[in-house]
């Protein structure tokens, strides 16, 4: 039988993440370095131990997992170091709606795609990179503001009203 992976969003090339490096750099199985478009992960200098907490969370979330990197149309494609800039999504096999079913002579697995930037911003594990141009900037600013107001993650000690 054949196993087919489907996603609930646009289809794109899936990439396996071999290693999650510090600073939010993702290394694919083929050695390409991918980094997050639109966000900056916490740093040890600015955020202390929260940088380690966020890095551990990111590693547990993405290392060894298949992701779908998507470029922003009209946005930047590479960072200053030449790494690929992308929105990062992963198949959430434990989310509501994930299913495995047999259809004729094949097995199909479908699951929703989760945007990692959205997740990190909501948890307070990232800042919006205001120096980049990208379409989701206003939405990312909204998510960051909500995390700040709730005092989550890196915003734990600074709670703007």
Q: What is the DSSP letter of 78?
A: B
User: For 24-32, which contacts have Cβ atoms below 8 Å and span 24 or more sequence positions?
Assistant: 24/58, 24/126, 25/83, 26/62, 26/67, 26/88, 32/84
Q: What is the pTM of this model?
A: 0.82
pLDDT tens per residue across span 24-64? 899 998 899 999 999 999 988 888 898 999 999 999 999 99
The predicted-structure confidence for 80-128, as pLDDT tens digits, reads as follows: 899 999 999 987 777 777 677 777 777 777 777 889 999 999 999 999 9
């Amino acid at each position: 039988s054949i196993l087919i992976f489907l996603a609930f969003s646009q289809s794109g090339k899936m990439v396996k993440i071999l290693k999650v490096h510090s600073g939010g750099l993702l290394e694919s199985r083929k050695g390409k370095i991918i980094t997050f478009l639109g966000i900056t992960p916490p740093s040890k200098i600015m955020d202390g131990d929260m940088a380690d907490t966020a890095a551990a969370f990111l590693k547990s979330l993405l290392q060894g997992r298949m992701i779908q990197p998507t470029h922003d149309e009209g946005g930047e494609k590479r960072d200053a170091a030449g790494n690929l800039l992308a929105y990062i999504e992963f198949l959430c096999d434990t989310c509501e709606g994930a299913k495995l079913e047999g259809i004729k002579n094949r097995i199909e697995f479908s699951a929703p795609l989760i945007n990692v930037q959205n997740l990190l911003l909501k948890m307070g594990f990232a800042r919006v990179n205001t120096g980049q141009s990208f379409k989701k900037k206003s939405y990312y600013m909204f998510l960051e503001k909500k995390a700040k107001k709730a005092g989550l993650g890196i915003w734990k000690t600074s709670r703007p009203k």
